[in-house]
Amino acid sequence: MAKTKSAPPAEAAGSEPILRRHAEQEFAEELTVLREHDTRAKPPNWALSPWAVKLYIVGGKLDNGFVVTPKYIGNDRLMEIAIATLATDRALLLYGLPGTAKSWVSEHLAAAICGDSTLLIQGTAGIDESAVRYGWNYARLLAEGPSVDAMVASPMMRAMQLGKIARVEELTRIASEVQDSLITILSEKALPVPELNMEVQARKGFSVIATANNRDKGVNELSSALMRRFNTVVLPVPEKFEDEVDIVERRISQLSRALELPAEKPALEEIRRVVTVFRELRDGVTLDGKTKLKSPSGTLSTAEAISVMAGGLSMAAYYGDGVLRASDMAASMSGAIVKDPVQDVIVWNEYLQTVAKERDGWKDLYRACREVL
Amino acid sequence: MGVHVFGIRHHGPGCSRSLVAALDKLAPDVVLVEGPPDAAAVLDLVAHADLQPPVAILIYPTNDPQRGVFYPFAEFSPEWQALRYAQQHGIPVRFMDLAQRHRMAMEQTRLEKLIQQAAAEQAPACEPNGMDDAPGEAKQLPSAGDAPDGTEPSLYDDPLGMLAVAAGYQDHELWWEHQIEQRQDPSGLFEGILEAMTTLRQTCAERSEYTPHPYEAEREASMRQIIRQAEKDKFERIAVVCGAWHAPALVERGPAAADAATLRNLPKEKVEATWIPWTYSRLSYRSGYGAGVRSPGWYEHLWREPVAAPTRWIATAARLLRGEDLDASSASVIEAVRLSTALAALRDLPLAGLTELNEAMLSVLCGGDAMPLTLVRERLEIGNRLGSVPESAASVPLQKDLEAQQQSLRLKPSTEIKPLDLDLRREIDLARSRLLHRLNLLGIGWGAAQESRGKAGTFHEIWSLQWQVEFAVNIIEAAVWGNTVERAAGAAVASRAAGLTDLPALTGLLEQVLLADLPPAVGQILDRLQAIAAVSADVRLLAGALPPLARVARYSDVRKTDAVQLLPVIAGFFERITVGLSAACTSLDADAAGEMAQAIDQVQQSLDLLDWAEYRDQWQATLVRLLDNDAVHPLVRGLACRQLLEAGQLADQTLLGRARLELSAVAPPEQATAWLQGVLRGSGMLLLHRDTLWQALDAWLVELADDAFVAALPMVRRAFADFSGPERRAMGDKVKQLSASKTSRLDSPSQPVVSDQHIDRARANLVLPVLAQLLGVSISTGDQHG
């Protein structure tokens, strides 16, 4: 991270250098320009119209030539569903594997719709109702008795009062009884405060974006009552092979610079092989669509493909000849694939025997992987 | 009043509705429909109560039914509505397309020419004379035989695609749906279509890359001539219903002489027409009316529910999901409708279409899970409606093909039960067997195969034949699959195979298909087998599927099946079994272990049958790994021992060692007996001939404590229960001699112990020559030994 220590970007001059800025700060210019050129109807309390929000998310060009960078690369229609959901004041649940840009999309949607992505509840097993509803400032509560001033509003409550978007990260990690307190908020759009004999009613524009991943074990399954109050959008892993190769390649060259590995940039061919293996195992079918395969228990996300490549690179740099070879990757690749010591070994073995063995130019990979198994 | 041309899209419900409204307004005295005039004779049946869409007009050359063409009609097809309108109002209706009797003959000539050309091109390398042909036509050549009809390539069926692209749509269907089908106000629709098409045709004519449809000139000439004929017949208000593309050509009719010239001297062949029942799933096939419909069920819904179609669609889908025990509350229905409306608004559409509805249902009703949506796709979007035709409809080509085969094979249908004995070495009997098997695959159970008894098995097949009257209906139903028995059976099997997911069912089907001799279907089933095997985690199923495959691969000769394509599949199965076997054999209870033992037996049988050295070694290595694995059920370990022993891969000493370990006093008696059961596998021969095993068993029994012995006894008995009488007797004898020969046994373990004392040498010598002759050895000069 040595490089980020250099002078902060011009527009942030004067403020403290921050490691990561919020979406609405980072893309303030785009949001401003979009707002200026937005002529279509806005739902109440929205900063932008749904069309402008979509443009902000998927990227594009304004009539005056201003280029909006794409925030989400993938299926535009999914983003349309997400935006339409929020426009109908329904809550949105972004569901998907780890590493499919759920939180990223949620942050940008909130930034574009209400200009504020900070009304955030980070879901953990440890949070209690006060994180979703409200808590008390106990010193004041003791001194003055129950009053509005002694109340500590949660981000959810503030979003309701302001008519903004509240974000809930990792919804499935929150204990079920705390999840349940969301039900009233989502259906009645109101939050009763019995201690003060009052309630907070949401202003127009209020909605909730929750994210959850559907792969983790030991999470709190959403009750069907809660599920019913969300529109669910499943974010998929990269659809196109070339997209995924592209993502891995970019990320790897950044990484190897950051880690200052004395190894050569990996050949595109190696990246393609790793991505091929991951995609085939993940999809349960070979890329040519001819052979079906079993899928291992792990996710095999793009992020893992990146770490396999990074592991291979450092092996090549420190213990190899500086050039990434199949043998450098074999161990980390097997490690990424074999998460369950019994079933996954079978899957991986079958893959090697029935697919890798026969493939032209894959002999080295096949042998290296057989060795580490 | 003159001629009114209505350009429509085939099977467009929006078009249908507008057309009915327009016809009501016009009140024509004759309706001309784009369709084959050859079918004029069967048009009367439209009025018949039993003719329920979806149905299709089938037109086929009398002498070659295989080249039949289908013209499907659904309730929402504009053509069907036009026919119904004419029939309800008692006005004449005529088909006006180029008659198929010409078209089929022309197509045949063209194909023959192309085949000649292709042959000519292949012989001398790259003669450029083929370059003048449209690439689309050249590509069609290999598939010409497969396509049920042989119509135009799809690009030309969809000239509207150009308009859709111009409007910024990638999906042509979607564009048409948004622009035409979802139109709320039908007035001016046909004028609009006509105008658009006129412009489009002009542009196309100017562009050099556009190649007109094959026979387009002839078809339109024919349509114009028939319109002129109607005018000549003094009809006053003529309604013309045709594909949108043809509309401009029918409005500007030009001089009659040119059309007459085009239609002069066309080749001709005899064709026949009939109605056959159709299904929605087959409506999506390309056929006589060009491109199929992707979502017939949705179109029917649009046709039947003009008001609030999206809401009703989601409500129907919710009912379907509820029927399948999936959550779909009314509140969710409301939210799904809201979301679909919002999506339509975001996409600037007047009304939510199928895409929006699906996306909304996925998001709200299904919680992002696409599986329930496939149910909606299959049951609602496509739908399973099956049409019906009156019995008076003429017979289908399949029927004719069957009759022809019955005649040539001298098999007369009779309602009596008749036995039939086929000797497959005779050509005619082989063909008969094939026919019967194929009919069975089509669900026409004319013959039932009987167990063949007595006569040497593989060449003989015993059948019992009985024709039933209902078969006529079955044949009509089966006719959707193809026009000959062979082709129909192939297509039916392929479709059935695509729906099967369990291995034994697939291999069973494969065996039937091999019997019916349908090579293309074999390939499809093999692909399917491989796909299923890849995801199947159950070694037992894989093993169960192996023996039939191995049998076919080994004994393919009688029916001359091509076994080569089976081999890679079998190899794949072996690979998967050897990889998964040890994991599959661990932590089993007694029942599961029994099944697993059977599976191992099956693999062993198949291997023995195929005799592949490479896989045998691999298999034996896998079995050896089982021996030492304590987590493996003892029954399976015992069986592995047995298999290795039979393969000569287990030395006597190793066996003794293993037996001592397995039967040691520490091992619980039930495990020891299970192991014993595995080794013996119901046959005492091993015990009789392997003294090491005998001794180990003996030692184990002796060492058992009294109460343990009592406990183990029933299980030991069970292990011995399947032994045959002679085996038991031999064992009894052996036990008797046990004490006497115990000492000598270890020196020569496998020699039978015979004592010299009771032999009368003189008498024994008498039998020696005969014995020698039987064994084919010569005796050494009268010298004898014991």
pLDDT confidence tier of residue A246, bands split at 50, 70 and 90: confident
A205 min Cα distance to partner chain B (Å):
15
Classify residue B365 as exposed, middle or buried by CB count within 10 Å of its CB (0-12, 13-18, 19+).
buried
Q: Which residue has the higher pLDDT, B719 or A236?
A: A236
Interface test with B, best of A228, A235, A348 (most B CBs within 10 A): A228
Distance CA B487, CA A44 (A): 63
Q: Chain A contact for B576, CB < 8 A?
A: yes
Q: Chain B contact for A277, CB < 8 A?
A: no
Q: Chain A contact for B171, CB < 8 A?
A: no
pLDDT at A23 over 80: yes
Note whether B363 contacts A346, CB cutoff 8 Å: no
DSSP three-state, residue B271: strand
Q: What is the pLDDT of residue A254?
A: 61
Of A51, A85, A293, the CB nearest to B363: A85
Note whether B364 contacts A353, CB cutoff 8 Å: no
Q: What is the pLDDT of residue B555?
A: 65
- pLDDT average, residue stretch B505-534: 81
Interface test with B, best of A81, A291, A293 (most B CBs within 10 A): A81
Chain A residues lying within 8 Å of B332, measured CB to CB: 228
Q: Chain A contact for B371, CB < 8 A?
A: no
Of B338, B369, B535, the CB nearest to A294: B535
Q: Tell me, what's the ipTM?
A: 0.75
Q: Which residue has the higher pLDDT, B155 or A244?
A: A244
Of B359, B572, B575, the CB nearest to A81: B359
Note whether A232 contacts B572, CB cutoff 8 Å: no
Structure tokens at B757: 């004392």
Lowest mean pLDDT among A122-136, A359-373, B596-610, B772-786: B772-786
Distance CA B74, CA A138 (A): 73
pLDDT confidence tier of residue B783, bands split at 50, 70 and 90: very low
pLDDT, tens digit, for every residue of B95-149?
Answer: 988 888 888 888 888 888 888 887 776 654 433 333 333 333 333 333 333 333 3
pLDDT, tens digit, for every residue of A116-158?
Answer: 999 999 988 888 889 999 999 999 999 988 888 899 999 999 9
DSSP three-state, residue B383: coil
Note whether A84 contacts B346, CB cutoff 8 Å: yes
Chain A residues lying within 8 Å of B530, measured CB to CB: 291-292
A274 min Cα distance to partner chain B (Å):
21
Q: What is the pLDDT of residue B635?
A: 85
b/e code A3-27 from CB counts within 10 Å (16+ = b) = eeeeeeeeeeeeeeeeeeebbbebb
Q: Chain A contact for B625, CB < 8 A?
A: no
Cβ(B136)–Cβ(B155) below 8 Å: yes
Q: Chain A contact for B572, CB < 8 A?
A: yes
CA distances from A178 to A89, A123, A165, A228, B226 (A): 22, 10, 19, 17, 76
Average pLDDT, chain B: 77
pLDDT at A164 over 90: yes
- pLDDT average, residue stretch A148-172: 93
pLDDT at B336 over 60: yes
Q: Chain B contact for A75, CB < 8 A?
A: no
Note whether B359 contacts A87, CB cutoff 8 Å: no
pLDDT confidence tier of residue B740, bands split at 50, 70 and 90: low
Q: Chain A contact for B322, CB < 8 A?
A: no
Chain B residues lying within 8 Å of A350, measured CB to CB: 534, 575-576, 579-580
Cβ(B287)–Cβ(B69) below 8 Å: yes
Chain B residues lying within 8 Å of A87, measured CB to CB: 342, 346
Which regions of A29-84 does DSSP assign to beta strands (E)? Answer: 60-61, 67-68
Q: Phi and psi at residue A49, in whole multiples of 5°?
A: -75, 160
Interface test with B, best of A48, A187, A354 (most B CBs within 10 A): A354
pLDDT confidence tier of residue A218, bands split at 50, 70 and 90: low
Q: Chain B contact for A172, CB < 8 A?
A: no
pLDDT, tens digit, for every residue of A107-123?
Answer: 999 999 999 999 999 98
Chain B residues lying within 8 Å of A56, measured CB to CB: none
Q: Chain A contact for B535, CB < 8 A?
A: yes
Structure tokens at B594: 């029994």
Element (H, E) at A209: strand A207-213
pLDDT at B785 over 60: no
Q: What is the pLDDT of residue A156?
A: 94
Q: Chain A contact for B632, CB < 8 A?
A: no
CA distances from B135 to B140, B151, B160, B210 (A): 9, 15, 21, 12
pLDDT at A203 over 90: yes
Amino acid at B432: R
| DSSP letters spanning A128-161 | -HHHHSEEE-HHHHHHH-S-GGGEEE-HHHHHHH
Whole-model pTM over 0.80: no
Q: Chain A contact for B587, CB < 8 A?
A: no
Q: Chain A contact for B339, CB < 8 A?
A: yes
Most confident of the ranges A76-90, B619-633, B744-758: A76-90
Around Cβ B305, how many Cβ atoms within 10 Å?
Answer: 14
Q: What is the pLDDT of residue B44?
A: 82
Classify residue B613 as exposed, middle or buried by CB count within 10 Å of its CB (0-12, 13-18, 19+).
exposed
Interface test with B, best of A282, A292, A344, A370 (most B CBs within 10 A): A292
Q: What is the pLDDT of residue B65?
A: 67
pLDDT confidence tier of residue A8, bands split at 50, 70 and 90: very low
pLDDT, tens digit, for every residue of B684-718?
Answer: 777 777 777 777 777 777 777 777 777 777 777 77
Cβ(B237)–Cβ(B86) below 8 Å: no
Q: What is the pLDDT of residue A49?
A: 93
DSSP three-state, residue B246: helix
Q: What is the pLDDT of residue A289?
A: 74
Chain B residues lying within 8 Å of A77, measured CB to CB: 355, 359
Most confident of the ranges A21-35, B610-624, B676-690: A21-35
Q: What is the pLDDT of residue B465?
A: 85
Q: What is the pLDDT of residue B340?
A: 92
pLDDT confidence tier of residue B286, bands split at 50, 70 and 90: very low
pLDDT at A36 over 80: yes
Chain B residue with the nearest C-alpha to that of A79: B343
Distance CA B390, CA B274 (A): 11
pLDDT at B382 over 70: yes
Q: What is the dihedral of CA B416, B420, B426, B432, to 10 degrees?
A: 50
pLDDT confidence tier of residue B744, bands split at 50, 70 and 90: very low
- pLDDT average, residue stretch A322-350: 86
pLDDT at A235 over 90: no
